[in-house]
Each structure stands twice: as structure tokens, then as C-alpha cells.
Amino acid sequence: MGDPPTRSPAVNTLLILGGHGDLATRYLLPAAAELIDAGLFPARLRIVAVDRAEIDTADYRDHVVDELRQHAPHLPERTRAELCSRLDYRPGSATEAGDLRAAVAGLDGAIAVYLALPNAVFHDTIASLGEVGLPPGSRLVVEKPFGVDQADAQQLNALIRQEFSEDHVFRIDHVLGEQIVLDVLGLRFGNRLFESAWTAEHIESVDIVFDETIALEGRAGYYDHAGALRDMIQNHLLQMLAVVAMEPPTELNERELRDRKADVLRAVRPPEPARMREASRRARYSAGRSPDGSAVPAYVDEPDVDADRATETYAEVTFSIHNVRWAGVPFRLRTGKALGADRREIVVRFRPPNHQPFDNRGAVEQLRFTMGPDSIRFDVNLNGAGDPAELQSQAFVADVGEQRLPSYSRLLREVVAGDTTLSVRGDEAEECWRIVEPVLAAWTAGEVPLEEYPAGSDGPGAR
């Protein structure tokens, strides 16, 4: 296997391309402020934001303070002030080499370049960065979606490799920074009871669910071209599947963990064409009400939505894993918007004992990992209070508490440290597209009908 990769040299600048956009001001800069507040942001590190808005640094800092007060109100004023003292703003286009050259002029040492940009301009931006020529040890950080299909992801990887080595590339998937996802590793590999039972012999099914009560929220420009399958299952949920199903790593280092995830993804198979309608489901929300009682328009009536695209806001697919450990175990991945409850969890359901002398066959033994608030619940079967031949399900719940760092702060810390353990490797991104493309093709061809569900409901009804 070889030794783990050598860590990159320290970076002196975080360069955010698209620094005036929602991703930067709603997530990245609050993440940096969280690190500053926790004493985890290197004193040497400055932040340079680049965007098309013709404003100066003072205006930009005022804008950032307003955003921090909205998205990170718990942070003290001194933390906001320290973040702003490190911020510079330089107007320019991320796709123009001349603007980028001006943006990096005078910056010393290695740079971490964060593409807080639409996926459509990744190719041009990376090509322009190549023309500029960044200092040795510089890093590239890209957000999902990584490409629009497998061929595009392959082309993007090839372009990145011309300018950056793989251990200097961070493909961000924020779910890998969630503490509860990392807790899956601890529970699996740190406990003999669960590791010995983590096989098809003992596990009946695995559900990975990411339901949201929020509707479109003005994101039609991106979402109406993506849909739930591309937006969530192709990246976030398949990464969660890889963490749940991976083989034991020999060590907890970046190469071992990513190798084991890649092994699983290569073994994942989409539904067979003849079973696509049975094993996958797509739907979009109609008019209804959110859990707080407010009216939600039908998806097709949301601003800037093209109803003819038949974009799904709900996606459900059952995958299989072709290896010895998981033969015959269905992995059901589900996500949707404008649903009746936020539900973000991994549910591992165990098979009943081979010999069951009890009357109640409906009792369930399962592990449930829940995000926000984070908890681990173990449902086991015990004798009922009355009839000793009857089983009742009892829950043991571990409240794992608030994670020490939000996921974006955790991932940004890894970028600054040069640790790619929690980022997605290039081959993983390509495999994720391979897995979903047959489903996308079947849906595009109309082989799976587009259903509807009222906003605020549990999703499409039973079929």
C-alpha cells in the first residue's frame, strides 16, 4: 500500500473565487470565523475574496459582518472583527487569467484556491489558474457537483491533474465533515459486537435518508438543471454509503480511508434495467403547506422553473454491492425537498435470529444514526412486561451532543492543514457518476414515471 502521502506545505492565503456569493458568505466565512473563535485558524493566514461586484474591501467587510450576524449570531463581536481584519476584496472574473493574476499579485507562499463558483465555470477557471501559475504547494478546493456526468468528471479530473497533484486537491462533500458520519467509523471499528455483525449474514437492509422540509428557496438556476438525484444521491448519500459499507482500514489515514471508500463504490451496482421502475422512484412536490403552516407553491410554479424539464424534487434508489460482505443486502437511498419533516439518518436493520421462540415476529433490531441533533439509537428486543413469550422493542439512545465544529469548519480546517482524508478523491467522484447514470438515463427516457406529492407530506404514497 505504501506510506501515507506527505502533507502539503503550509498555505498563507485562502483565495475564495466567488467570494461575494452565497456559498462564501453563508458557509465558508462563518466556518473561518468558527475556527478563529476556537483558536484553530493559523495566525499567518489571510483571506482574499474575488468576485465581479465592483466594491472595495471596506464595503465587502461590512457585507460579511451582516452575513455573520445572520448565519453565525452566536459568535462574539471580537471574532467578527478579527475575521474582517484578515479579509481583502479584489474585483475580477474567476475565468479571466488577467484578473486572477492581479488577484494573487503580492501574495507570498502557497495559496489554497476555493472555487465557490457554479460548476459550469470550473473548467475555464482551472485553465486560467494554470495560465497564472500558482506558487508551489498551492491547493485547489472544489464543491459539488463535480461535473455533470461521468465523462465531464473525467475531463475535469484530467484538467486538474495538469495543474495540481491529487494530494493538493480537495473535492468538498460537506456530509463527510458531519460528526455523526464519522461516528459510524468509531462504532463499527471500535466495537467487536458491531464489527463482527457488520455483514450480509446479520444485516437485512440499510436505509440512508436525507429528507428536507425546505422547498426550492430561490435556487431554480441550479436545482432545475440538477434535481434530487444529482444534487444529493450522486454525492452526499453515496459517500455516506461508502462510509457505512467500507472494509476495515489498516490505519486511519487519508490514503487508507479513501482507498476503502473507492473499493466499495466500485462494487456498487445500480438497479438492473428490467427492475428500474421497481427499484427507483422520482417525484416532485405539488402545492401544499410547510410544517409551520405557510403555503408552499407547486414546484412547477416556483420562479424560473421550467416544467418541461420534469425535474424531480424527490429521489429514491435501491442499490446493491457486489462483494462478499454485502451480497443480497439492499441499500436504499432517499432524499426529497418540501417534505413534512427533516429526517437525516442512516438506519441499519439486522436480521431476526435464525431461531425465534417468541410469538411477536414484528419486533425490530436496528441501529439508527441521526444528524441534527446527533444521536445513535439501538433498538433491541426484550421480553414484554406481561406475556414472557412476547417481545417488545426497547431503545437505547446515546445523545452524542453537539459536534465541536460544524462540518464546513471541520473541512476548512483540513484544507488549511493539507489533510485530504475528508475530501473526495477523483476516482470516487467518477465512480459516483457511473453508479447513477443508468438511473438518470432511465428517468430521462420516461421508463420511471414522475409522481407528485403535496408539499408538507411524507412524500409520494405507497405503490
Report in angstroms the alpha-carbon separations of 446 from 16, 92, 150, 370, 439.
40, 43, 21, 34, 11
Q: Which three cell numbers stand for residue 224?
A: 432545475
Catalytic entry in 20, 168, 174, 236: 236
Cα–Cα distance between 188 and 243 in angstroms, integer?
Answer: 10
Q: Which three cell numbers stand for residue 196?
A: 463482527
Task: State the maximum Cα–Cα separation within the chain, in Å, rounded to a whole number.
Answer: 79
Cα–Cα distance between 347 and 135 in angstroms, integer?
Answer: 46
- 205: DSSP letter: E
Which helix or strand (DSSP H or E) is residue 382 part of? strand 375-383
CA angle (207 as vertex; 204, 211 as ends), nearest 5? 165
CB neighbours of residue 440 within 10 Å? 16
Strand 169-172 vs strand 139-143: parallel, antiparallel, or unpaired? parallel
User: Is position 71 annotated as part of the catalytic site?
Assistant: no
CB neighbours of residue 458 within 10 Å? 13
What is the SS3 assignment for 253?
coil
What secondary structure does DSSP assign to 321-349, as a single string? Answer: E-STTTTT--EEEEEESSBSS-EEEEEEE
CA angle (269 as vertex; 268, 272 as ends), nearest 5? 170
Amino acid identity at 384: G
What's the order of all strands across the beta sheet hosting 46-51?
87-91, 46-51, 11-17, 110-115, 139-143, 169-172
Do 57 and 16 meet the contact criterion of CB atoms below 8 Å apart?
A: no
Any idea which residues carry the catalytic annotation?
236
